[in-house]
Chain A
Amino acid sequence: RKEVEQDPGPFNVPEGATVAFNCTYSNSASQSFFWYRQDCRKEPKLLMSVYSSGNEDGRFTAQLNRASQYISLLIRDSKLSDSATYLCVVNKGNNRLAFGKGNQVVVIP
């Protein structure tokens, strides 16, 4: 099983709609989790950390389900500028991060 698995998509989302996607991770001992955003031909940038209690940053909500070993990201009221690839990231220990291949989101006018 891969360390981090994501459905690559693309996820075609009408502007203003809500989109959600999950990623699963294999190491039950993993302690910290992140979502990164990567625009086309740019570097990944930290979007948000994912906490056990879940966390929200504006239109973005991240959730962690340790029992089922998955992390989710929900984007409400999608904007055209949300079009990007969203990378699920898991800390393997000693600050070594495992990256998923990403969920590609395309927001359509």
Chain B
Amino acid sequence: DVKVTQSSRYLVKRTGEKVFLECVQDMDHENMFWYRQDPGLGLRLIYFSYDVKMKEKGDIPEGYSVSREKKERFSLILESASTNQTSMYLCASSLSRGRDYGYTFGSGTRLTVV
């Protein structure tokens, strides 16, 4: 089974801190994605990447950046954390751009910014 591992399950950070959320997948998937999930708003795409060193903005990239230096690792960076970034963050990966590939999600990081 593909495994997507997110480094922290729960995280509490202070406003203004720089926050790094790490995600690693172990099945040589090309695509990786970062979402946030909030009650009533569903899953919203922040950034995604189809290959190493490649990144593309999703629907809500403001206040975030990403890094993909190695194929298996995709990091989400909150440059200066704010309280409205308190959320559940989910990383996902998929094999390639082929149309029938679903995503495998990590178990999520619940981030609280105080």
- A residues whose Cβ falls under 8 Å from a Cβ of B: 31-32, 34, 36, 42-46, 49, 87, 89, 91, 93-97, 99-102
B98 & A46 in contact (Cβ 8 Å cutoff)? no
B100 & A32 in contact (Cβ 8 Å cutoff)? yes
Contacts of A97 in B (CB 8 A): 102-103
A99 & B43 in contact (Cβ 8 Å cutoff)? yes
B108 & A49 in contact (Cβ 8 Å cutoff)? no
The one of B40, B90, B97, B98 in contact with A43, judged by C-beta atoms closer than 8 angstroms, is: B90
A84 to B67, CA, bound (A): 33
Question: How far in angstroms is the closest Cβ of chain A from B97?
Answer: 5
Contacting residues of chain B (25-74) with chain A, CB-CB under 8 angstroms: 31, 40-43, 45, 48, 50
B43 & A49 in contact (Cβ 8 Å cutoff)? no
A87 to B98, CA, bound (A): 21
Question: How far in angstroms is the closest Cβ of chain B from A23?
Answer: 12
Contacts of A102 in B (CB 8 A): 42
A44-B43, A102-B42 are known contacts. Are A95 and B105 too (CB-CB below 8 A)?
no
A95 & B43 in contact (Cβ 8 Å cutoff)? no
14 A–B contacts, CB within 8 A, in A order: A32-B99, A32-B100, A36-B102, A43-B90, A43-B105, A46-B102, A49-B100, A89-B102, A91-B99, A94-B97, A95-B97, A97-B102, A99-B43, A101-B40
The one of B31, B48, B94, B102 in contact with A49, judged by C-beta atoms closer than 8 angstroms, is: B102
Question: How far in angstroms is the closest Cβ of chain B from A17?
Answer: 27
Question: How far in angstroms is the closest Cβ of chain B from A87?
Answer: 8
